[in-house]
Amino acid sequence: MAKKKAPAPAGTPAIVALTSAQAEFTVHAYEHDPAHPSYGEEAAQAMGVSPDRVFKTLVADVDGVLTVAVVPVSGSLDLKALATAVAGKRASMADPALAERTTGYVLGGISPLGQRKRLRTVVDKSAQAHATICISAGRRGLEVELPPATLTTLTGATLAPIARH
């Protein structure tokens, strides 16, 4: 008699990664408006969550190495602080097409979890002030809420002050 394989987890690669890790998380879906000027602010408004608890995923180039930065949507990424956090000299935003190819996600839906190629990750230390934060689940209009410690553990992230508030 053949053994039955457990069904593969369903969803985006980020949700699959969380499910495979048996992490506790909540999925929040909302209707994405392509005309909205900010994906993160749209997510915060749609979920009724403070923008300080909704984090955006940005891909930067630090001394030629792609690096993921996770910062609150209420702030912006401090590139100099990001470079310092990974012992680099210079940081700039990565080419959008390269970020999409490398992560396997589209802009506005890049998740720090379940990326095609695991990149070094830095999460803004302000995440620790919250019991849970929301990050992209891997597509526009889909967020996951999880404890910051779960995010840092699953991504191997460093916590550092990389956001301007």
Q: Which residues contact 3 (CB under 8 A, 6 or more apart)?
A: none
What does the pLDDT look like over 125-138, one tens digit per residue? 999 999 999 999 99
Q: What is the mean pLDDT of residues 100-108?
A: 94
How much is the pLDDT for 144?
A: 97
What does the pLDDT look like over 42-80, one tens digit per residue? 999 999 999 999 999 999 999 999 999 999 999 999 999
85: buried, middle or exposed (CB in 10 Å: 19+, 13-18, 0-12)?
A: buried
At 42, list the tokens. Answer: 């749209």
pTM value > 0.95: no
Compute and round to an integer the Cα radius of gyration of the chain. Answer: 16
Looking at every residue in the chain, the average pLDDT score rounds to: 92
Q: Which residues contact 103 (CB under 8 A, 6 or more apart)?
A: 59, 68, 110, 111, 115, 116, 117, 119
At 26, list the tokens. Answer: 């909540």
Q: CA of 108: how far to CAs of 60, 104, 140, in Å?
A: 15, 12, 6
Q: CA of 161: how far to CAs of 28, 32, 83, 84, 148, in Å?
A: 27, 30, 11, 10, 14
